[in-house]
């Protein structure tokens, strides 16, 4: 028997409503993406994989970059689907697409089949990832939002670590199962997503989406569940809910629609879009693609050519990056998003020029290079990846939905991922050719890009720490669109609210909404 929950979902009558099942699903989605990145990194090192497909620089780039073709196509429809049908259903559809791609990839008989499989896989992971980031940003309390959304991408490295370990274990096999087995294991996480999905109704929908669709009581219940253990009369709950209702009402009165065109319709929308989408391309051109997908070529440049040594380096790299992204999430929560990004970007610039210099020294005299030079180069490579993870791993999904207001949030986040995957598609294809042709100079080129990125962040980015999504409007519009105090001031007890007055206003808002 099914029952309709107070958060506008249907579920088995015997289960209580909880966000735990949905949190597990989102973590599995993140692990799937991380697994894929590290798996391809490992496969590109394996002779059994490169020999089976008879890969050269161009086809290596095509096999690797094809996932970004799907990642480029997915955002074109994700925003529309997420706004129309809700965040949860969109995650379901993305996870199903990912599983299909994994099955085809494991069974690939030639380059064409492998590429098609990865296009489908990239499409599915893009759809579920975009919807998941928006869902978490709209559902988590402001004080936990950095951790709630940041961890979504932090678990990328959990998947990456699992993939690195599996490819290390199968790397010595002499059959095609040396690379098919890691592909097959990737399907386990997607399959778990599908198995969990029937229980998705145990979890509430985004309160912003519910309120926009007119399900006010359901939206209030979700806010109460995530901020006050279900107490819908709590002052913090009333304040948050009132801000949501007032702000969405203001957007509707201003004629804001959910059309994708809305992201460029007004000067404020365009400004928010440019800032909100920037983590996508900024993280893409930072230089990590070289190590993320071409660690083998990078280590070859440094003089470490054994495939077994490279696979072990891949495992260590992912442990290091996982630790760094957790530190970065803590910094983003305590210190702020903008300072964390500037710190990370500054460290990346220094590392890239050091790596370029050391790699040049090795390239000038590979036979006479000392072990100190080789391992020094690798050490700085590892530092670079960790410093990248400090900011870009958590901020990639955290910052865009914070900057973008509701009417452009899903489409804006999708556009950010569109830009990221479009650039990644080009760079992943170009990088192996660039490394072959100009070697160490690729690091110098990346260092120049990162200097420009540093100053763009410093000049244009705004700080969002400690604000609920509706309060960020004041930065761009010059004012909030609700008269209630800031939520964190209410939570800290520095200001009180008139519960009766807010309840009265909410009843009036509901009546007006029904008559419109």
What's the pLDDT at 297? 60
Q: What is the pLDDT of residues 398-411, one digit of tens each?
A: 999 999 999 999 99
The C-alpha torsion from 244 through 246 and 248 to 254, rounded to 10°, is: -160
* Closest listed residue to residue 72, CA positions, set 375, 360, 281: 281
Q: Give the pLDDT band (50/70/90) at residue 261.
A: very high
What's the pLDDT at 334? 93
Residue 335 tokens, joined: 């210190």
Residue 214 makes CB contacts below 8 A (sequence gap 6+) with: 513
Can you name the CATH fold of 14-205+276-460?
Growth Hormone; Chain: A; (1.20.1250)
CB 208 within 8 A of CB 248: yes
Burial class (CB in 10 A: 0-12, 13-18, 19+), 459: exposed
Mean residue pLDDT of the chain comes to: 82
Q: Which residues pair with 12 in a beta bridge?
A: 2
Q: Give the pLDDT band (50/70/90) at residue 244.
A: very high
Residue 197 has pLDDT above 70, yes or no: no
Share of the chain above pLDDT 70, in %: 87
Q: Give the pLDDT band (50/70/90) at residue 439.
A: confident
Helices 406-438 and 441-460: crossing angle, nearest 10°? Answer: 160
Q: What is the pLDDT of residues 247-258, one digit of tens each?
A: 999 999 988 889
Q: Give the pLDDT band (50/70/90) at residue 3.
A: very low
- For the segment 187-206, the average pLDDT, to the nearest whole number, is 68
Give CA–CA dist 332/392, Å, rounded.
11
Residue 355 tokens, joined: 């790596």
Give CA–CA dist 121/98, Å, rounded.
4
For tokens 């109460």, the residue is: 224
């Amino acid at each position: 028997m099914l029952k309709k929950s107070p958060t506008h979902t249907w579920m088995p009558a015997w289960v209580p409503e909880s966000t735990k099942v949905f949190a597990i699903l989102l973590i599995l989605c993140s692990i799937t993406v991380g697994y894929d990145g590290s798996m391809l990194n490992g496969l590109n090192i394996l002779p059994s994989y490169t020999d089976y497909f008879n890969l050269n620089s161009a086809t290596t780039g095509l096999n690797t970059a094809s996932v970004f073709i799907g990642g480029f196509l997915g955002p074109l429809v994700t925003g529309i689907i997420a706004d129309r049908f809700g965040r949860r259903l969109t995650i379901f559809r993305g996870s199903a697409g990912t599983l299909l791609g994994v099955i085809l990839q494991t069974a690939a008989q030639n380059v064409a089949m492998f590429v098609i499989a990865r296009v489908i896989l990239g499409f599915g992971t893009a759809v579920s990832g975009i919807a998941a980031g928006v869902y978490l940003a709209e559902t988590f309390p402001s004080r936990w939002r950095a951790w709630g959304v940041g961890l979504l991408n932090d678990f990328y490295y959990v998947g990456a670590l699992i993939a690195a370990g599996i490819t290390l274990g199968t790397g010595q096999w002499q059959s095609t199962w040396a690379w098919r087995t890691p592909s097959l294991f990737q399907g386990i996480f997607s399959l778990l997503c599908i198995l969990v999905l029937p229980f998705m109704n145990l979890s509430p929908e985004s309160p912003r989406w519910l309120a926009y669709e007119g399900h006010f009581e359901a939206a209030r219940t979700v806010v109460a569940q995530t901020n006050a253990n279900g107490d819908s009369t709590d002052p913090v709950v009333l304040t948050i809910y009132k801000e949501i209702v007032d702000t969405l009402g203001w957007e509707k009165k201003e004629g804001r629609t959910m059309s994708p065109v809305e992201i460029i319709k007004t000067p404020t929308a365009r400004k928010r879009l440019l800032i909100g989408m920037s983590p996508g391309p900024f993280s893409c051109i930072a230089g990590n693609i070289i190590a993320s997908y071409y660690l083998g070529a990078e280590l070859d440049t440094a003089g470490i050519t054994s495939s077994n040594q490279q696979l072990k380096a891949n495992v260590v790299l992912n442990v290091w990056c996982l630790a760094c992204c957790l530190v970065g999430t803590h910094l983003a929560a305590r210190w702020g998003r903008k300072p964390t990004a500037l710190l990370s970007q500054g460290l990346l610039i220094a590392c890239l020029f050091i790596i370029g210099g050391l790699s040049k020294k090795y390239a000038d005299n590979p036979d006479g290079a000392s072990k100190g030079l080789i391992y020094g180069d690798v050490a700085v490579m590892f530092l670079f990846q960790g410093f990248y993870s400090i900011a870009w791993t958590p901020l990639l999904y955290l910052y865009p939905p914070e900057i973008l207001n509701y009417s452009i949030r899903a489409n804006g986040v999708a556009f950010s991922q569109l830009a990221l995957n479009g650039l990644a598609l080009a760079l992943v294809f170009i990088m192996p050719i660039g490394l072959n042709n100009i070697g160490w100079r690729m690091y110098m080129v990346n260092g120049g890009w990162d200097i420009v990125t540093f100053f763009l962040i410093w000049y244009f980015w705004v700080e969002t720490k400690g604000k609920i999504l509706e309060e960020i409007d004041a930065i761009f519009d010059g004012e909030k669109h609700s008269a209630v105090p800031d939520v964190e001031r209410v939570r800290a007890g520095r200001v009180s609210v008139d519960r009766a007055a807010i309840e009265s206003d909410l009843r009036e808002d509901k009546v007006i909404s029904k008559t419109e």
